[in-house]
Structure 1
Amino acid sequence: MTARGLAVEKPKAVEGPTVRDAVMTLLRDLGMTTLFGNPGSTELPLFRDMPQDFRYILGLQESVVVGMADGFAQMSGNAAFVNLHSSAGTGHALGNIFTAFRNQTPLVITAGQQARSIFPYDPFLYAERATEFPQPFVKWTCEPARPEDVPLAILRAYHMAMQAPRGPVFVSVPIDDWDRPCAPIVASTVAQEFMASSAMLAQTADALNKAKSPVFVAGAGVGREQARAVLSQLAEKHQAPVWVAPMAARAVFPEDHALFAGFLPASREAVVGALSGHDLVLVLGAPAFTYHVEGFGPYIPEGSSLIQIVDDPATAARTPVGTAIVGNVADAIAQLVAASSPPSRPAPAIAPPHDDPAPEGQAIYETLLMKRLAALRPSGLLISEEAPSTRGPLHDYFPIKLDDEFMATASGGLGFALPAAVGAALAQPAKTVFCLLGDGSSMYSIQGIWTAADLNLDVKFLIVNNGGYAALDQFGALFDIEVVGSKLPGLDFVQIAQGMGVPGARVATVDALDDAIETLFAGKGPRLLEVVVKRPG
């Protein structure tokens, strides 16, 4: 009898290897021995006699689980394995599955399903039409026809997740499949890289060499493929300014470099204005372009041409003007460096970042906070950011350097950065992870703090408390709308953190800010700092 008084028949012992044995061997061969999940009844047989070389990372809500796996996969370079609970758990996780899809993060997501024998009776916890539920934000879905097909389905899912453009995949596994007999399988090898056309790259190199004033727009694909250093070489050879593409969710170019031009806004007219005066626009690892508001007119300045290099055929297909080349972005940049022989060009005129003077008084403004963080931060940070209203001051006063890593949500959905920081710390234990959050966005996945405490991960959480959804208020002002439901009084993040095992502190005055930042970054292990800021105006 169970605790609820229901009789449950124990599964019969199986002699020889099972589906579970075959999957565990496969995951080991694929380098996926870190499993992320929040277990439910339909997943429990997966964990029977779990091998000692595997580790299970518990998240306190399924969206948090997927966010942790996303950060882990981005910072490890390999797909991460996620286990969700039937339809309810998959539903909880959908927001961050969508973000992983937009982030192009490789995730192998499995979800529990009821026993096959009771499918016809619509049982409790049955995941009806399970493979359709996470669509369209997974690259491939499957519920294997037979138990012995589960290992091959997971192998195929892994290869699909790792193929460019990378992304999440989904496999639904009935509860009784794990204990069925199954012969082990050998992991196949699939070449994941595909190279851009040599002829088209040669034409691009020729166009770059002949251009009078080229400009580069770099997106998250440059960061995903670790191509920032080689992009710096290409920019220096051509004396070309480098803009960060609109809404880029990774670090793409050192922001303290003399050729760093800034961040393109997500508006058609603003993009054209920023790129005016250049006769060749080379877009690398990004759409051309991502817009947030409706716009009109040309897509690029009059008299200029556009060439795009991206690893996603769908992104290339929707490029409205110019030439799109599909292939590995890092390799393409390296080939362009090798073929560079431009004439001598003067250094481009790049406007220095503006410097807002700090208002007098003891109130902390976001500009001052970013300046002091930049001055007191350790080198080589891994940064996970979700502070929408602070992003402007972050861009202006907290440069992401070549030895840093950076992640943000590519979907615009909240609840990613906090658990992603936890996953990143698991993947890069030698690095300090700095998680910059807004007070509103932090509440979407605050449970992730518990995992950081439980595993004693070196994550430094800084919550910018401006009393509400300030980014929404800013956007509402554009439409002359007074936003309702945007204020968040009474939140105490120090108590929340301490209740989950993370020490925390609050600072609200300028004279205490430096000491609070230094304490945040001192030592190893998780810590939280809540900074109460004053909104401008």
Structure 2
Amino acid sequence: MTTVRDATLDVLRRYGMHRIFANPGSTEVAFLADLPDDLEFVLALHEGSVVGMATGHAIATGRPAFVNLHTTAGLGNAVGALATARVNRAPLVVVVGQQDRRHLALEPFLAGRLDGLAGPYPVWVNQPALAQDVPAAIRRAWHEARQHRGPAIVVVPMDDWSAPTDPALGLAAPTTVLRAGPEADAAAGEVVRLLDRAANPLVVVGAGADDRRTWDALVSLAERIGAPVWQEAFGARAGFPQDHPRFAGHLPAGRSRLRAVLAPHDVALVVGTGAFRQYPYEPGPLVPDGLTVAVVSDDPDELHHSRAELAVLADPAAFCLAVAEQVTPRRAPAPAPRAGTVEPPAAGEPMRAVHVFAALAERLPRDVVLVEETPSSRPDLHRLLPAREPRGFVSAAMGGLGFALPAAAGLRMGDPSRPVVAVLGDGSSLYGIQGLWSAARYGCGVLFVVLSNGRYAVLDRLADKAGGKAPWPAFEDVSVHGIAQALGCPARRVVDHPELLAVLDEVVPTLAHRTEPLLLDVPVRVDTRFEP
């Protein structure tokens, strides 16, 4: 069995932290006892001296030094020295002991209220949520200390060290992080070598790639290497033109289906997001064996929580263009087209969400900004309404409801040159319904399409999947178009497919110059299938 301690000692070896500067206490004994011979313990008689020695060592070597401190007393004694290390720009990885996780709620003797104790001087502070996350946190602390040139703190409860960890799961932190500048130039060469050696590479894009320069660079790269391009799961923005032949679809949100998509590939280049966003949790490895992952982003946090061998902090557009110019061209078949035809509902048959999406797809202009908040039918929306221009798709990055309706009004106000359509579930719309008053008051000519099923369909399906009975009632008596009208926003109830087509034919041509919002309340049948 590999323990958290075993995995952590391997991290120390991997990153050259062979000396442990410490003044030990009882919360650190489980980590320090029986240290392997290749790691050296360096004792100082006060925590100020511990951190001072480590600071000098880091300055001399130019690499992060490893410090082990004893819970509240040890960290408290070291604060002045940590402040000095920060101002001296000395990178330190500081592991602080904590009482046993299993009774922390009782605030036992030696339990420390450690968050914030060192004030603003650490460059990063973390107590991992689970024991198995400790090695990844210490790996990230090394990168944070190196990048920001100061002390990075990880708090570790004493029982975490003996907890088991599964090497197959990997660490939720990249092995190597290179920064923009000369390192990023070298990293471009490394990514080129990865792609040139790959038998079957793929590209994954995220919200951080949603701009014209990055789209153009990624199109050039994907066409040059013949790779399929996948959009991250739950992406808030589109990172690639989704009507391009190389676009393969949206990554699934569960680990088993994600592994199935990634299995044929040996290299994944992830651009503008982390690797990989998931929901809900599934046991098992995140990625298949044999897959090398490289991540490129201008957001350090995306890099640091990625399961990747290489992470590059760089402007995605410039970096991908440099890679595209250097990589060896190859030929590969394009992915098969994904979107099929949608048959209209039979006479008297209720509409489903796909009927609404298909009708919109036939009519919306290429430059439309589509704002989405329809969780129960999001996969169909992605399939039928691809983003064709940068900023062509906008959604809530955090997943909380209430974003899309007011955001659509703001998008139209911020750029009146582009038509804006918001597609919402009725449950979602009620979290931001007050935004209709502002949309009407300030002349935001948004088309709001509300798919009304009178319930929280996603939650109903999740409850069914869990084998339980949902305690919440339906709300079919709520009139979204009635609320809209009460808030001063024009609204229509559209009850059948021919009426929907007629209304869209009337309204869509006006979207480019429209200064009055319109809400369409469209009843749809609940779809029983659910695959996030």
TM-score by length of 2: 0.62
Match runs of 1:33-112 below 5 Å: none
Tell me the residue number matched to 2:327: 340
SS at match of 1:227: helix
AA at the equivalent of 2:525: K
After superposition, residues 309-320 of structure 1 pair within 5 angstroms as 309-320=296-307
Cα distance change, pair 224–412 in 1 and its aligned pair in 2 (3 A) = farther
1:379 to 1:312, Cα distance in 2 relative to 1, 3 A = closer
- In the other structure, the counterpart of 2:521 is 530
1:206 is matched with 193
SS in 2 for 1:261: strand
Separation in structure 2 between the aligned mates of residue 379 and residue 325 of structure 1, nearest angstrom? 33
Q: Distance in 2 between matches of 1:333 and 1:535?
A: 42
> Per-residue deviation at 1:450?
0.9
Partner of 2:140: none
Q: State the match for 1:378 in structure 2.
A: 365
Query: Is the Cα contact below 8 Å between 1:381 and 1:403 reproduced in 2?
Result: no
Hey, what's the Cα distance between the residues in 2 that align with 1:484 and 1:224? 43
Q: How does 1:468-487 map to 2 (within 5 A)?
A: 468-487=455-474
Verify the 8 A CA contact 2:212 2:390 in the aligned structure 1. Answer: no
Alpha-carbon contact 2:211-2:390 (below 8 Å) kept = no
Deviation of 1:404 after TM superposition, in Å, equals 5.5
State the 1:255 CA deviation: 1.5
Pair 1:430-2:421 in alignment: no
Closer/same/farther in 2, CA of residues 358 and 480 from structure 1, 3 Å limit: farther
| Offset, 1:251 | 1.3
Counterpart CA distance in 1 for 2:336 and 2:285 is 24
CA shift, 1:279, in A, is 1.3
Inter-partner Cα distance in structure 1 for 2:376 and 2:254: 18
2:502 aligns with one of 500, 512, 515? 515
Of the three residues 201, 217, 227, the one matched with 2:204 is: 217
2:346 equivalent to 1:360? yes
In structure 1, the partner of 2:261 is 274
**Displacement of 1:303:** 2.3
Matches of 1:318 and 1:502, distance apart in 2: 43
User: Structure 2: which 5+ residue stretches go unaligned?
Assistant: 1-115, 117-122, 125-147, 149-178
CA contact (8 A) 2:453 2:476 kept: no
**Structure 1 residue aligned with 2:397:** 410
Q: Which moved more, 1:482-491 or 1:406-415?
A: 482-491
- List per-residue Cα deviations over 1:438-494 (Å, max 9, x = no partner): 100111111111111111112111111011111111222221223222512222222
| Residues 522-531 or 348-357, more deviating | 348-357
Superposed CA offset, 1:188-222 (max 9, x none): xxxxx955611011110122123221101111111
Return the offset for 1:235. Answer: 0.7
Counterparts in 2 of 1:226 and 1:503: CA distance versus 1, 3 Å: farther
Structure 1 residue 310 displacement after superposition: 1.8
Query: Residues 231 and 253 of structure 1 are in contact (CA less than 8 Å); yes or no, is this contact kept in structure 2?
Result: yes
Amino acid at match of 1:536: D
Q: Please give the secondary structure, in 2, of the residue aligned with 1:197.
A: helix
CA distance in 2, matches of 1:486, 1:385: 25
Tell me the SS of whatever aligns to 2:439: helix
Match of 1:291 in 2: 278
2:311 aligned residue: 324
Structure 2 contact 345–497 (Cα < 8 Å) conserved: no
CA 1:321 to 1:229, structure 2 compared with 1: closer, same or farther past 3 Å?
closer
Q: Which amino acid aligns with 1:382?
A: V
Paired-residue identity, %: 32
SS in 2 for 1:320: coil
Deviations 1:151-187 (A, max 9, x none): xxxxxxxxxxxxx9xxxxxxxxxxxxxxxxxxxxxxx
Instruction: Tell me how far 1:312 sits from its aligned partner.
Output: 2.4
Q: Secondary structure at the match of 2:210?
A: helix
Q: CA offsets, 1:90-115, max 9 Å, x none?
A: xxxxxxxxxxxxxxxxxxxxxxxxxx
For each residue in 1:374-417, what CA deviation from the matched residue of structure 2 results, as whole angstroms up to 9, or x when unmatched?
00212311121111112122012122213652110111111111
Residue 304 (structure 1) shift: 2.2
Say if 1:225 and 1:194 are closer, same or farther in 2 by CA, change over 3 A: farther
Q: Are residues 483 and 226 of structure 1, via their aligned partners in 2, closer, same or farther at CA, if it must alter by over 3 Å?
A: farther
> Among 181, 184, 190, which residue is 1:197 paired with?
184
Which one has the largest radius of gyration?
2
CA separation in 2, counterparts of 1:287 and 1:403? 20
Q: Is the 8 A contact 2:207 2:237 kept in 1?
A: yes
CA distance in 2, matches of 1:486, 1:225: 45
Letter in 2 for 1:360: A
8 Å contact from structure 1 (residues 379, 403) kept in 2: no
The one-character-per-residue Cα deviations of 1:312-338 (angstroms, maximum 9, x if unpaired) are 223322223421112222221121122
CA contact (8 A) 1:300 1:306 kept: no
Q: What amino acid sits opposite 1:267 in the alignment?
A: G
Match of 1:255 in 2: 242
The SS at the match of 2:204 is: strand
Counterpart-to-counterpart distance in 2, 1:365 and 1:510: 10
SS at match of 1:360: coil
Distance in 1, matches of 2:288 and 2:342, equals 30
The equivalent residue for 2:386 is 399
Alignment counterpart, residue 308 of structure 1, candidates 295, 314, 330: 295
Specify the SS of the correspondent of 1:463: strand
Corresponding letter in the other structure for 1:494: H
Partner of 2:65: none
Q: Which has the higher contact order (CA 8 A, sep 6+)?
A: 1
- Structure-2 change in CA distance of 1:322 and 1:403 (3 Å): closer
> Letter of the aligned partner of 1:419 in structure 2?
P
CA distance in 1, matches of 2:366, 2:489: 23
Contact 1:243–1:264 (CA under 8 A) maintained in structure 2: yes
CA gap 1:311/1:486 in 2 versus in 1, 3 angstroms = farther
Instruction: Sort the Cα spacing of 1:345 and 1:522 in 2 relative to 1 into closer, same or farther, 3 A.
Output: closer
Residues 379, 404 of structure 1: 8 Å contact kept: no
Alignment map for 1:138-149 (pairs within 5 Å): none
Unpaired stretches in structure 1, ≥5 consecutive residues: 1-131, 133-138, 141-163, 165-192
What is the identity, as a one-letter code, of the residue corresponding to 1:529? Answer: L
Amino acid at match of 1:534: R
Deviation at 1:360, TM superposition (A): 2.5
Alpha-carbon distance in structure 1 between the residues aligned to 2:193 and 2:378: 37
Matched pairs, number? 348
